[in-house]
Structure 1
Amino acid sequence: MWVAAAFITMISFGTNNTIFKWSTGNGLSKLHIQFFFYFVAFIVSFGYGAMNGILHFNLFTILLGSLIGILNANGNIQMSKAFEKGPASLTSPLIGTNALFPILSAGLIFHEKISLLQWLGIVFMLGSAMVIQYSPSSKRNTSYLPWILRVALAILSFGILGILMKTSTYLHINSVNILISMYGGGSVYLAVCSLLQKEKWRRNEAGVGAMVGIISVFGYAAYFFALQFGAASIVFPIVSLNCLIVVLAGCWIYKEKLKLYQIIGVFSAVLGILLTKI
């Protein structure tokens, strides 16, 4: 079940990233879409918790959840800025290495036991996620120092986020309360960022953000379930393969063609998944 939950998270995140790709290509603000998605997800998760009588907050839960939400929002912001500053061909693959942080913490901090074959599968999945996102034809003027800084901040944000998510399940904190704190804290952070950047608001950003928010609630609920009952060192690589959904959606929606190295990446990702299940 926890493997299935990890796949649900992968599909949810991939779907949302596809929506982000489409929306930014149509001139919508990724910052505003994130704000609406956080705000709607906060309302949905809070309503679910209230109806089921599972709202039990303390200062630690609120702070931990808010920090997770801020790190996720900041990671997305830094990633979008990195695309503006440096080579797109390397930005996604480099940021994808953030999964190494929670994977290593699973063994070093949470003492998970992973077999040699499973480690091989993890390497295949992470390598595939990096290869699939690589785009050698991308050309743009590069400001290397700002680009490297943005990439490093995105890697740290997403990497620490993964460790904190595993920590919340390790401490048996109710995932609904973490989600509410995560979306609430993230909403406040994004609202402040929006005020500082003074971007123009568009009406359809609310609709797109609401759809992303609902998908996100299901994705993160499955994510916490997978981390609670499964091996984090396997869950994180599976989730990192959400780039597969983006690539396949590009083939379907934009009629993009898979390059040879991407096809190899897809097959090596499947091999990696199989190895982790042996």
Structure 2
Amino acid sequence: MKEEIKSMWIFAALITSLCFGINNSIFKWSSGKGYSKIHIQFFFYFSAFILSIVYGVLMDGLQLNWLSIMLGAAIGVLNANGNIQMASAFEKGPASLTSPLIAANAIFPILCAALIFHEHISSLQWSGIACMFIATLVIQYTPNAKGNHQYVPWMMHTLLSILSFGALGILMTTSTRLHLNSLDILVSMYGGGMLYLLSALAFKKEKIKLKEVKIGSLVGFLSMIGYGCYFFALNTGIASIIFPVVSLNCLVVVFAGCYIFKEKLKTYQIAGVLAALIGIILTKI
């Protein structure tokens, strides 16, 4: 039974990818409706913080200490900052290049797991990682994108987002290697991110809409499921494989674009989807 639970890590990573993909699709939809990204993110963190606290108290699973609080809060701030920088990058530069560039952040925790924590990865698994990584870049890329771009601010926001998400992945891997309680990290992560966003709200005078509260709460619920599965996968599986699997959340965004926004899949995007599936298969051989 224990071995069966351990073999579930790849499915947990896929559930994480699905939850993150749905949330990114919601962000994309809400930005088109003119809703505030800061407001939605704040209520996303606030609702997830309350839910994680309630769950921890009911299950008597909280074992908070200073290390888990500081590490979790750092992860929360990095995630919130990464999202804010990504949103700013979309506004300043070509979205067709922003998404695949930011997705490249997965290489940092992959290298960290392989080089620092000495995870053993076979040649076939490395091939699968390469397939998923290439698929992530190809699926999101749209050539000949038009628009007015401010390239210096765009590059700065993109770089800051890459560094934030890359550092986040490294800290998550570190927390599992230190055998810290995942629930403690989750509570601290949402609490740290909530305080960070609260400080950002202090500089804004915009009126909060009820719709933003509802959207943020839904995203928070999905985030809790996603990160819960994320930590389970990292605790029982191979981090170097988990990170590229999670980065495939762009597949959900692409398919949501086809269904909700009536976008059409390009031939190279279909090839990217197939490459992603091949990559997942190779990592399990």
Normalising TM by the smaller chain, what interval?
over 0.9
| Distance (whole Å) between structure 2 residues aligned to residue 137 and residue 11 of structure 1 | 29
The answer as to 2:155 corresponding to 1:148 is yes
Give the equivalent residue in structure 2 for 1:214: 221
TM-score after normalising by structure 1: 0.98
Give the equivalent residue in structure 1 for 2:230: 223
Letter in 2 for 1:17: N
User: Equivalent residue of 1:254, what SS?
Assistant: coil
| Distance (whole Å) between structure 2 residues aligned to residue 103 and residue 257 of structure 1 | 32
Q: What runs of 5+ residues in structure 2 fail to find an aligned partner?
A: 1-7
Match for 1:108 among 84, 103, 115? Answer: 115
| Distance (whole Å) between structure 2 residues aligned to residue 219 and residue 122 of structure 1 | 21
- RMSD, aligned α-carbons: 0.9
Deviation (angstroms), 1:137: 4.2
The answer as to 2:94 corresponding to 1:87 is yes
Give the equivalent residue in structure 2 for 1:158: 165
Match for 2:245 among 238, 243, 255? Answer: 238
User: Equivalent residue of 1:135, what SS?
Assistant: coil
* 1:88 and 1:139 in contact (8 A); partners too: no
* 1:96 and 1:129 in contact (8 A); partners too: yes
Give the equivalent residue in structure 2 for 1:205: 212
Deviation (angstroms), 1:4: 0.6
Aligned positions, number: 278
Q: What runs of 5+ residues in structure 1 fail to find an aligned partner?
A: none
Give the equivalent residue in structure 2 for 1:49: 56
| Distance (whole Å) between structure 1 residues aligned to residue 121 and residue 206 of structure 2 | 47
| Distance (whole Å) between structure 2 residues aligned to residue 98 and residue 256 of structure 1 | 26
Give the equivalent residue in structure 1 for 2:27: 20
Give the equivalent residue in structure 1 for 2:3: none
Deviation (angstroms), 1:269: 0.6
Letter in 2 for 1:205: E
1:64-122 Cα shifts (integer Å, max 9, x gaps): 00000000000000001011111112111110100000000001111101111111110
Deviation (angstroms), 1:254: 1.9
| Distance (whole Å) between structure 2 residues aligned to residue 211 and residue 132 of structure 1 | 26
The answer as to 2:15 corresponding to 1:8 is yes
Deviation (angstroms), 1:250: 1.2
TM-score after normalising by structure 2: 0.96
Letter in 2 for 1:83: F
| Distance (whole Å) between structure 1 residues aligned to residue 270 and residue 74 of structure 2 | 37
User: Equivalent residue of 1:201, what SS?
Assistant: coil
How does 1:26-65 map onto structure 2 within 5 Å? 26-65=33-72
Deviation (angstroms), 1:200: 3.4
Deviation (angstroms), 1:229: 0.4
User: Equivalent residue of 1:196, what SS?
Assistant: coil
Match for 2:80 among 58, 73, 76? Answer: 73
The answer as to 2:126 corresponding to 1:119 is yes
